[in-house]
With several copies, the nearest count.
Chain A
Amino acid sequence: MDILYFAWVRERIGLPKEKVETSAETVSQLVDELRAREERYEVAFSDLSALRVALDQELSDFDASLAGVREVAFFPPMTGG
């Protein structure tokens, strides 16, 4: 599964994209796995209310299932326009 990070999430974790082998069934479980890895993940994911998640390029939420998902992206609230 590809995991993408944008904006300050990318900066805190220190990379824009990585491949992850996971058996997580939901986004929340994936986040728990990532947080357990290293301090920089723990810091990046410390406040989920400040984060958004997209599954296969569609906005989703942390309860969502990862079944069939190939690309997960984490980022802060968007500030376009």
Chain B
Amino acid sequence: MKISVQKEPFDLGAEANAFAAGDTSNGAIVTFTGVVRDLVQGDLDMMEIEHYPGMTEKALTKIANEAQERWSLGDVLVIHRHGRLAPGDQIMMVATAAPHRKDAFEAAEYLMDYLKSRAPFWKKEITGESADWVAAKDEDEDALTRW
């Protein structure tokens, strides 16, 4: 299991290849990558991501452990950036490996749902005129009831 909370960019392709390398017992690999989207009006300058050092790593490790208890999985990867990001920058990724595709997909969705609402990250959208904290969405909290 690799959990990384980092300021630096990561290379999706290199991470995906490293994650997949040399595993002949898991037939299914799922990755999810989150990208900073521009605002509807197209004026996002920066996305700033604050986190709670110490707690963040613990929370992500706990979520990944829960996924591994719940599904028959091979390896699990979680990378999440903090600091200032521009539109188009990759914020985070998760990857799951499993013998069967259903497990790999479900575990990746589970990781994402919990990471959204239970890992201590907060996003702020900075435009030329304003800097607004992104509000948590009810649908993200509701997504947890599925599990």
Residues in chain A within 8 A of chain B (CB atoms): 4, 6-8, 10, 54, 57-59, 73, 75-81
Contacts and interface: CB of A to CB of B under 8 A. Distances in A.
B10 interface: no
Contact of A57 (B50, B58, B117, B136): B58
B133 A78 contact: no
Contacts of A75: 52, 120, 122
Given A8-B133, A57-B52, A81 B112 contact: yes
Count class of interface residues, chain B: 20 to 34
Contacts of B135: 77, 79
B121 A79 contact: yes
Contacts of B50: 6-7, 10
A8 B122 CA distance: 9
Contacts of B112: 81
A16 to B, nearest CB: 10
Contacts of B101: 81
A73 B56 CA distance: 12
